[in-house]
Amino acid sequence: MKKRILRYLKHIFLTFLFLTITAIGFGLYHGASLHYGDHPSRMNLDQEGPYVFYENDSTLSVNYLRGNKNDGFYTTKKNYAVQSEIPGRCYFPLEDTAFNFTINTTIETPQSEYNDGNPIVAISDIESGFKTFRDFLIQQKVIDTDLHWIFGKGHLVLVGDFVDRGFSTTQVLWFVYKLEQEAKKYGGLVHFIIGNHELKNMQAKFGAASQKYLAVSAILNKQQHDLYSQESFLGKWLSSKNAIEKINGHIFVHGGIHPEVAELNLSLDEINEISRTHYYTAYFPQPEKTPAQLLTSTRKGISWYRGYFKADLSQAQIDSQLETFKAKSVVVGHTLQSKVQSFFNGKVIAIDVHHPKDYNKSWPNGQSEGVLIENDVMYRLLYDGTREML
């Protein structure tokens, strides 16, 4: 009887061990990690900013947070004429560093298509990781160690979800803005493609946002949705961005293109115009099936679609949709991968990987990746600056 019980317990233990190892392996393959620590400076609000708001048609207010929990918080505020160039400074408490930039209040809507043959570096789903984003760009020689653009006439494509799930949202957005302004001086371009988490912030869905930004809005005496509304500079800037672009024949979109979207026979300009019109409108299905309903759907919409990896699509369907847009491939984020990789004979490039977090410790620690497209050859870019052909 004793031997039988021991044998039974042994079988239970081995079964449990097998299931545990299988579950861990499955999780690691799909980018899961164990979070086991946070840096205390993640909620440091002293010098946080700038938060820039339109006071009226002619005046902008630039606000920085100061103080601490013990002594209390307050804001410093300075007004500027809308048409002036405004100095900005963004502080990163984890390293006690800052970067400077100039706010040019002229906001222009980007083109939907570019064709110049210059190299493209793309990365997605940074999720408020300023250090991670910065270090990757340094390693890939897009910027130097002083955070200045050195990519010449190249294209840096940010394929959505650069906000939420972290404590450096403001730093990331101003850093993107700084690089965008700087790249123009050298003939380069930064393309910020809107992802579903940018949409969530514009639509006041803050379930994935850090509590830090609830505190920020309270200290500013505003509601959290005011941070990215049309009355804020960052909100107005974000809402000018496209949801899909074609660069040198390759489409960049956060989620993907559902077959029904391709069947709409809309141009990229038309898709972007419809999308921008609805950035601040939360999607709920309606009986009337319009292009806007499809494009903004949280299941089939271009910033939300996961069908390349979750549906039974054929190579013929992928080829057909690319032919519709006269494109060579589509590069997407949104759906987490174990590494940057291609699908459907190199026609779909998936670049959402498990990036390391600025303030969190985890095991295993993520390693950033991206993609380089140069002369129509694609390379997987690794965190240490090396590359592998896809």
Max Cα-Cα span within the chain: 88
Strands 155-158 and 377-382 turn out to be unpaired
The two three-digit tokens of residue 80, written as one number? 């500027």
Residue 289 predicted with pLDDT over 90: no
Q: Which pLDDT tens digit goes with each residue over 5-48?
A: 666 666 676 666 656 565 445 554 544 555 566 889 999 999 99
Instruction: Give me the pLDDT at residue 360, please.
Output: 83
At 115-132, the pLDDT tens digits run: 999 999 999 999 999 999
pLDDT of residue 38: 81
311 confidence band (pLDDT: 50, 70, 90): confident
Distance of CA 111 to the CA centre of its chain: 19
Asked if the bond preceding 119 is cis, omega within 30° of 0, the reply is: no
244, 302 Cβ separation under 8 angstroms: yes
Strand partners, 62: 52, 78
CA distance readout (Å), 188 to 144, 185, 271, 364: 15, 7, 24, 35
Alpha carbon distance 297, 306 (integer Å) = 12
Average pLDDT over residues 146-153: 98
pLDDT at 256 over 90: yes
Mean predicted confidence (pLDDT) in 147-164: 98
| pLDDT for the residue numbered 320 | 96
By residue count, the chain amounts to 390
Amino acid of residue 325: F
CB 257, CB 278: distance < 8 Å: no
Q: Cα separation of 389 and 341, whole Å?
A: 10
Rounded to an integer, what distance in angstroms lies between the CA atom of residue 73 and that of residue 21? 48
Buried b (16+ CB within 10 A) or exposed e, 100-128: ebebebeeeebebbbeeebbbbbbbbbbb
Residues in a beta bridge with 158: 123, 192
3-state secondary structure the chain: CHHHHHHHHHHHHHHHHHHHHHHHHHHHHCCCCEEEEECHHHHCCCCCCCEEEECCCCEEEEEEEEEECCCEEEEEEEEEECCCEEEEEEEECCCCEEEEEEEECCCCCCCCEECCCCCEEEECCCCCCHHHHHHHHHHCCCECCCCCECCCCCEEEECCCCCCCCCCHHHHHHHHHHHHHHHHHCCCEEEECCCHHHHHHHCCCCCCCCCHHHHHHHHCCCCHHHHHCCCEHHHHHHCCCCCEEEECCEEEECCCCCHHHHCCCCCHHHHHHHHHHCCCCCCCCCCCCCHHHHHCCCCCCCCCCCHHHHCCCCHHHHHHHHHHCCCCEEEECCCCCCCCEEECCCCEEECCCCCCCCCEEEECCCCCEEEEEECCEEEEEECCCCEEEC
pTM of the model as a whole: 0.92
